[in-house]
Structure 1
Amino acid sequence: MMKKTALATIVVAAVLAVTVGAPAYADEPTPDSAPAATATPTPSPSADQGAPAEPAAPAAADPAPTADPADPATPTAPADPAPTAEPTPTPATGTAVPGADAAPEAASDADPSLDVMDAAGNHTMGSTIPDSDPASPKQRKAGVVQPFLGVSGILGQDVSGWQENVNWPAQWAAGSRFAYVKATEGTTYFSRNQFAQQYNGSASVGMFRGAYHFANPSTAPGDAAAEARWFVANGGGWSPDGRTLPPLLDIEYGNASQGGTCWGMSAGAMTSWIREFVTTMRSLTGINPAIYTTTNWWNTCTGSNNTFGAYPMFVARYGTNTPGTLPAGWLNWTIWQFQAAGTLAGDQDIFNGDIALLRQYALNGTSMPPTGVFDTATVAKSGPFTVTGWAFDQANVAAAVKVRIEWNTPSGIRTTTVSANASRPDVGAAYPGVGNNHGFTTTAPWAGNGQYRACLTALGVATSGARNLSLGCKAAFVSDAIASAPASKRVAGSDRFETAVATSKASFPTAGVPVAYVASGLDFPDALAAAPAAAKQKGPVLLSTAVSIPQSTLNELKRVKPSRIVVVGGEKAISASAYRQLTGLAASVVRVGGGDRYETSRKLADFAFPSSGGAYVATGWGFADSLAAGPVAAKRGQPLILVDGAKLDAGTSSYLSGRSMRSLTVVGGTSVISGGWASAASAAGFSVTRVGGSDRFETSAKLASTAFPSNGAKNVYLASGLNFPDALVAAAAAGAATKPLMLAVGTCVPRSVGDQFVRLGTTSMQVTGGTTVLNKDVDQLAVCY
């Protein structure tokens, strides 16, 4: 069964929405009588749709308005009022604002001061946006206008009860083609004297029009549904007449008495409040409302929540030619409020598209992508790889959406397309009116043990001009040892130094280790050879800056109580003052360092492997091959020696000839350690073997295959192949535990590495680093495309 919470962020098709009538309206609520609502005819639901929800009446505790005989009882819109002419297309280079030098048409068009609005409990859209909002500096002086916009679109406006008796024919003549009209605020205010004149008057001249609600979370904390019901009961309804715009939530700054900018609510609480409001609106009207806000307010007060992108964005930003950066979660804007005063009554707005798209927006289908969910991806031994999900088109629910699947299996990568037309009663139940036949199940054949992954895209219906929608990717894994991804234990800290400490604690839980290595956490050259040395001597690698030892590192050294501390590298890597901080933390503190990275590696080899008969050789110009080789070298009791790789230099040649080493394992391809280097070493009497892959990830996999037999590593270590500090400490830990270390990309695991999980019979893994280094897809062994 599909989770309702997952569905809650998805747009509902507008063409099957409930039609809600508008009641009588009042500017000033009084406690004498309740507003009367006159419902317009409602479309009959289909058999699988169920009865549409009726809008809830205002709570009894809310003050009710008295009737105003001067206003019509119900601001009923004409069926489809035809304008005398469609607006002229705007130039591709931008939109000229009509009458740019003119003042508003009448003094009554101007908004009063914020203090007056606060006292009346009646705020206009954008009235509480402060000068401090970096994306929206206020420009509220009458007659101050933006003469030219850097975008094209359809001009419109938003008005409230503060704009009295708007001359709608004049607004049309000035170029306005749509209007949002304030209906309600909080749970007590609703517009009585002006709503009907504005809502019906704009429609009568051919405009698209809709209603907006000014949110006041402080009036009913935690009960956004009450505000939504008040809005719908007092003008915030919708009908599929092609002229009624989706209802609009105006959510912006609170004043000091209301808890300040974010109404005294945490980001989580504010996000929940908004979600409750919009989902209640959808349940009452059948469509998603639009959201009006500023980028700064949204990102500040919701913590940059990015899960509301299905709701059309009405963004406010003044004094510039473009809307600028949008709030988190939106890739595009639907309407932009670009000016707080100008030729048109109220605020000056522009719709992002032409008249045809504006009409689609009125039907809740403004080039919006299909909606859907990728539910499951499963594979069983010798069985097919199966994916399931659902999708439907928002403007035409009768159309079967096509879903493109990009398969990545052990047999290769391919693409297929399937129709989302299978029965999914849970979709129909969650979205009354949409119907049941929007599901899909499709398979790829069994391709052997290993990694499986599918990425799905719901394709926009060509006739609606909608974009495609990515439904995301899911991974599966199966081997003879396990039927799912190996259990993942993540070891991470807040930064590289803390991650090293966390790795030390996981690998050496009790005090009394023989040795601890301290290496630079800021640069890799001196530190590379430390991993096999620490692994051989059964101690952790901890990290330092050049000038001082981090307190977390000092605390960990005190905990593990090493017999010896080895500082790796010269004073450029770890300074004398940093070295002195270690005094007293072990019986012996020594520095092992040379004039360069190569000499340091040779000195570490003598220090930790004084009588080894062989060595691993890796480039000193990169870290990945060296660190992947560390656990393997330690398992074989051999050091890691760094070389330039272009040719066998005199320093390395002299060192090798004066030791008992006779076998050399060259790590990496000829692009990092040349064939000439290997040939020269062979000519000098060394037995040379090369282990290298097409990239660092395949090299790490091949190294594991040389040292660990089939079904020989139930547990492996996984670290970033693009981030040396985490790989360094993981290499030491893996080597000390006699486990392989393999490398991953930030968002996926290469197939060469995944194949080793199959061969080794791996059932668990330790992932080193946080999700900013290796994201959660890595825990699932999601294969790289």
Structure 2
Amino acid sequence: MRIGILATGALLLSLIGASPAVAAPEPVQTPAATSTSSPAATSDDAGTPAGTATPAPTASPAPTETPAPTAPAPSASTPAADPSLAVQDAAGDHAMGSTIEAVEGPAAGARTVAPKASLGVGGILGMDVSGWQPTVDWNAMWANGARFVYIKSTESTDYVSSHFPSQWAGATSVGMIRGAYHFATPNTTDGATQARYFVAHGGNWAPDGRTLPPLLDIEYATDGSGTCWGLSTTAMSVWIADFVHTMKALTGIEPAIYSTANWWNQCTGSNNTFGAYPLFVARYGTSTPGALPASWLNWTMWQYASSGVFAGDQDIYNGTYAQLQAFAYGAQSHPPIGSLDTATVSANGPFTITGWTIDLTNLAASTQARITWNTPGGISTTTVTAGASRPDVGNVYPSAGAAHGFTAQAPWTGYGQYGACVTAVALPGDRAGDGNLGCKTAFVSPASASAPASTRLAGSDRFSTGVQVSQKAFPTPGVPVVYIASGLDFPDALSAAPAAGAQHGPVLLTMPGAIPDTVLAEVQRLKPAKIVVVGGTAAIADSAVNQLKAVAPVTRIGGVDRYDTSRLVAAYAFPNATSAYVAAANSFADALSAAPVAAKKNSPLLLVNGGTIDAPTQAYLAGKSIHSLTLIGGTAVVGDVWITQPQSSGSSVTRIGGSDRFGTSSLLAASAFSSNSAPTVYVASGISWQDSLVAAAAAGSASRPLLLARPGCVPRLIGDQMVRLGTTAMNITGGTAVLTSDVDSLQVCY
């Protein structure tokens, strides 16, 4: 590891011992031992760093407003500037802006530009230094007008500035607001790795009003790999995102980004998705920063010269001193911070939530929390003041004090889901806007004092997820049958699901040309008496079928289209059926919920063109003596022709259709499962069919309902079914990319 220019072991130890204060973690309040929902997944805005709070230094604070002199006189000792780029290249130690002047060049006189006198902007003056300024006269820099400084901490993952601790201490001693920066080398490691290295060696942040957000210094390549470090515009954008997202996760604040318009637009392809991160722009020899990189409409800091009256580079902050302090608190890039800590409810008792919030623009002020309630009684909104004592918050943020907590209650309105979403209301003048503290849901039913226990059935892809479902549903080898269907489209698997469920076997998915290794291994483990392949050779090739024949006898069922295949599967699996379920072939969600119900009723599921009754389907219904039809879904998916025409032939017709696919799912469960009859249910995505197909067969085989959820929440109609069914356990099919962890806690949909 390179440590400074003349680093020694002692210097490394001094670096570790004198690193700046790290940001404190968000306080965690232990929930009461009552019915609670599982914690919601932490969002980026709620990401919190690890560590403990360190009190602000005791140096006398700067006055509320301390504008720099119009043209300060230089210090008696000439401020140290950076050496040439060649010298920095040879040392492998680069200062901020080391490549800017070499590539973009300064205009005449830029190196001696007088602060503010020749700049067309107002603001607060500052500087940035590195190990090339080993001794800085901090009192002189303060006298010359510098009120903030960025100090180099690290480069790549093998350099730590040995001068960083003393420079940090020196800046602190005179009252400067200070921060750390990292010189990026995007072609040596990924962004996350360099971010972690930076944080581990001083690149942290504390909400103390004196620590600037950590800074990513990304500029022209120094190693001969080309302007953009040998990376494509896409790869560079990914690298930067990797770095800044990791920094925010580690520190709880958006880091600032230092660059130039020319480099940024060239090397990221004018990427415009980083505007949430404060911009520190470099441009020399002009009276304004000029055109900005593509992501930003405004700049936060500007490096306007590579040398002048301050050691290192010459910088200016775009605002007042009070705003600079707020920037150090994180307010310019952060809405109010806080947490929705607990949400609890018990039978016949109120729904209670607790939390806290602080607006960083005014730490002493009490903020408000706006709560949107979603209970069995309906949706409503209330606003409460976050002024209650929270000693844990005060311990982490001593300068803010403890008076930032809130507690609120909604009345009992019956069993089911009780949800609350909380917004921290920004104080007037906080241009970052309101802060989202997230949502929590508590659940209570006569059968369960909390959300039913969840088991995730998920693999790395749809094929391995099918294997996970199969292993859960059929732990013992020797199943009667295994159905195999295409994993690239859903109709054949939908037709197979009720057949497999009724015959107590799984549905597994395959690629067209070959059975995936994990799937073939599962078929071998199951030791089926027979295998049914659903679909023609265009869906599943003979080569895949031949792999299966080595395990058990294989029957292929494949029609000329999805409708024909559906009829053939129905005739094969339900030869004596007198009733059938009917669903639109282009609407997987309705058919998905219907499959286990059809299996329970020992009835086929016919996939049809919902707008007409075709002659082959008419012939099938007549030939099989089917006299009772249940239509799945509303008239938009299965038209009324499916009522009038069968009724004219003497058949009875019933429709089960809700206002949407989730309502239909709830009604289907109610039609086939009596109260308190389903302690375990399957939950699958109502949006993405890939993982849900195999769950339908497993649910049908176990005579369990399959209930649909949205990606990040569970509709109230579905939660109400779990109350009615007496559900205490859920098998959730699919990973968190399909159904987030909020589904585990029955997060109610708004």
What is the SS of the residue equivalent to 1:752? Answer: helix
How much does 1:580 deviate?
A: 2.5
Letter of the 1:596 partner, please give it. Answer: D
Of 361, 369, 387 in structure 2, the residue corresponding to residue 395 of structure 1 is 361
- 1:6 maps to 26
What does the per-residue CA deviation read over 1:675-695, in whole Å, with 9 as the maximum and x for residues that have no partner? 122111111111111111111
Distance 1:562 1:437, change over 3 A: same
What is the SS of the residue equivalent to 1:215? Answer: strand
Distance 1:745 1:683, change over 3 A: same
What does the per-residue CA deviation read over 1:693-720, in whole Å, with 9 as the maximum and x for residues that have no partner? 1111111111111111000100000001
Of 497, 503, 526 in structure 2, the residue corresponding to residue 560 of structure 1 is 526
Q: Is the 8 A contact 1:598 1:643 kept in 2?
A: yes
- 2:213 maps to 290
What does the per-residue CA deviation read over 1:141-200, in whole Å, with 9 as the maximum and x for residues that have no partner? 2653699xxxxxxxxxxxxxxx9xx74635641346444433555xxx863156555453
C-alpha separation between the residues in 1 aligned to 2:445 and 2:430? 45
Distance 1:494 1:126, change over 3 A: farther
What does the per-residue CA deviation read over 1:229-262, in whole Å, with 9 as the maximum and x for residues that have no partner? 54432324674xxxx5x41211233699xxx546
Of 188, 191, 202 in structure 2, the residue corresponding to residue 277 of structure 1 is 202
How much does 1:333 deviate?
A: 2.8
Which of 597-606 and 315-324 deviates more? 315-324
1:337 to 2:286 alignment: no
Of 577, 582, 587 in structure 2, the residue corresponding to residue 622 of structure 1 is 587
1:774 to 2:739 alignment: yes
C-alpha separation between the residues in 1 aligned to 2:730 and 2:129? 58
C-alpha separation between the residues in 1 aligned to 2:269 and 2:380? 36
What does the per-residue CA deviation read over 1:71-130, in whole Å, with 9 as the maximum and x for residues that have no partner? xxxxx9998245559xxxxxxxxxxxxxxxxxxxx99967512543663x8631254xxx
- 1:484 maps to 450
- 1:516 maps to 482
Distance 1:268 1:762, change over 3 A: farther
1:141 to 2:160 alignment: no
Distance 1:309 1:615, change over 3 A: same
- 1:18 maps to 56
C-alpha separation between the residues in 2 aligned to 1:304 and 1:628? 40
What is the RMSD computed on CA atoms of the aligned residues?
3.8
What is the SS of the residue equivalent to 1:665? Answer: strand
- 2:36 maps to none
TM-score normalised by L of structure 1: 0.76
How much does 1:590 deviate?
A: 1.2
Of 633, 654, 666 in structure 2, the residue corresponding to residue 701 of structure 1 is 666
Distance 1:217 1:77, change over 3 A: farther
What is the SS of the residue equivalent to 2:629? Answer: strand
Letter of the 1:214 partner, please give it. Answer: S
* Paired residues for 1:621-640 under 5 Å: 621-640=586-605
How much does 1:321 deviate?
A: 9.2
Letter of the 2:206 partner, please give it. Answer: R
Letter of the 1:374 partner, please give it. Answer: L
1:596 to 2:561 alignment: yes
Unaligned runs of 5+ in 1: 21-39, 43-75, 86-105, 128-137, 148-162
What is the SS of the residue equivalent to 2:736? Answer: coil
How much does 1:462 deviate?
A: 0.7
* Paired residues for 1:19-98 under 5 Å: 19=57, 40-41=59-60, 80-81=66-67, 83-84=69-70
Q: Is the 8 A contact 1:337 1:350 kept in 2?
A: no
- 1:530 maps to 496
1:429 to 2:395 alignment: yes
What is the SS of the residue equivalent to 1:6? Answer: coil
Q: Is the 8 A contact 1:271 1:302 kept in 2?
A: no
- 1:174 maps to 119
Q: Is the 8 A contact 2:97 2:282 kept in 1?
A: no
Q: Percent identity?
A: 42
Aligned length: 656
C-alpha separation between the residues in 1 aligned to 2:596 and 2:526? 21
- 2:258 maps to 316
Q: Is the 8 A contact 1:360 1:367 kept in 2?
A: no
How much does 1:273 deviate?
A: 5.7
* Paired residues for 1:157-168 under 5 Å: 167=112
* Paired residues for 1:216-295 under 5 Å: 229-236=165-172, 239=175, 244=176, 246-253=177-184, 260-261=188-189, 267=192, 270-271=195-196, 274=199, 277=202, 282=206, 287-293=210-216, 294=218
Which of 190-199 and 509-518 deviates more? 190-199
Q: Is the 8 A contact 1:697 1:750 kept in 2?
A: yes
C-alpha separation between the residues in 2 aligned to 1:349 and 1:568? 69
- 1:680 maps to 645
1:125 to 2:96 alignment: yes
What does the per-residue CA deviation read over 1:412-470, in whole Å, with 9 as the maximum and x for residues that have no partner? 11111111000111111111121111100001111111111111111110144441111
Letter of the 1:191 partner, please give it. Answer: P
Unaligned runs of 5+ in 2: 1-22, 28-45, 72-77, 219-236, 288-303, 307-312
How much does 1:732 deviate?
A: 0.3
What does the per-residue CA deviation read over 1:566-590, in whole Å, with 9 as the maximum and x for residues that have no partner? 110112221233223322121x111
Distance 1:287 1:473, change over 3 A: farther
What is the SS of the residue equivalent to 1:594? Answer: coil
C-alpha separation between the residues in 1 aligned to 2:140 and 2:70? 20
Letter of the 1:616 partner, please give it. Answer: Y
Q: Is the 8 A contact 2:153 2:201 kept in 1?
A: no
TM-score normalised by L of structure 2: 0.79
Q: Is the 8 A contact 1:404 1:457 kept in 2?
A: yes
C-alpha separation between the residues in 2 aligned to 1:428 and 1:276? 27
C-alpha separation between the residues in 2 aligned to 1:192 and 1:615? 86
C-alpha separation between the residues in 2 aligned to 1:126 and 1:378? 53
Letter of the 1:311 partner, please give it. Answer: I
